[in-house]
Amino acid sequence: MKNHTKVIGLTGNIGTGKSTVAWMMGELGVPVLDADEIAHEVIAPHSAAWKAIFERYGRTVMRDDNVIDRAALARIVFQDPIERKFLESVIHPHVKEAIEHRVADYARKGHQFVLVEVPLLFEARWEDEFDAVIVVRSNEEQEIERCKEKFGMTREETMLRLGAQYPLARKVAAADAVIDNDGTIEETRVQVNRLHQEMVKGNFPKK
């Protein structure tokens, strides 16, 4: 994905507040791509990825309108590592290709950076695809509460998702920069603004 435009990966575990940081970066003029949104697009009815999913799971993960029921699919893949690896093998190549095309579009327009929010960046081993990686961290109780508020998930469902992801400390250790989202939104914004200033200078210090 690398070119003259710096491509920055943004990740962290579920509920850490990645989307908040992405939104703040967007307000500062940085184009933002969301790998989850792109994943939704690549499993649209009758796409190549949709067909592969249908062949494996049939109607059990389909709504009446042939749209994949992502909640039903998640219940399968987050309880079975083999099924999760299958799904990733189907979706990830399409997502990566779409990201590359969109980054190239922004590069042609002369943008200095593109931020790509990838929840499973390290799990997918995509870290080398980026010029730098930002990790958003928060404590586990906040993650659980955010998942409840944003997704309507129970504590058990959230813990199941967290169990399928690398430990947050491992991601923080591998990051080029870390945003601590334990505090107020104003405190987070100060960190994002400071990091953006460093990005403009070409620096990605660990926090």
What are the residue boundaries of the structural domains of the chain, listed by start? 6-39+92-201
Tens digit of each residue's pLDDT (9 = 90 or more) over 103-134:
999 999 999 999 999 998 999 899 999 999 99
Tens digit of each residue's pLDDT (9 = 90 or more) over 27-73:
999 999 999 999 999 999 999 999 999 999 999 999 999 999 998 99
Question: What's the CA gap between 168 and 93, in Å, rounded?
Answer: 25
- Looking at domain 6-39+92-201, its CATH architecture is 3-Layer(aba) Sandwich (3.40)
- SS3 of 157-175: the string is HHHHHHHCCCCHHHHHHHC
Q: What is the pLDDT of residue 3?
A: 53
**Is 0.85 topped by the overall pTM?**
yes
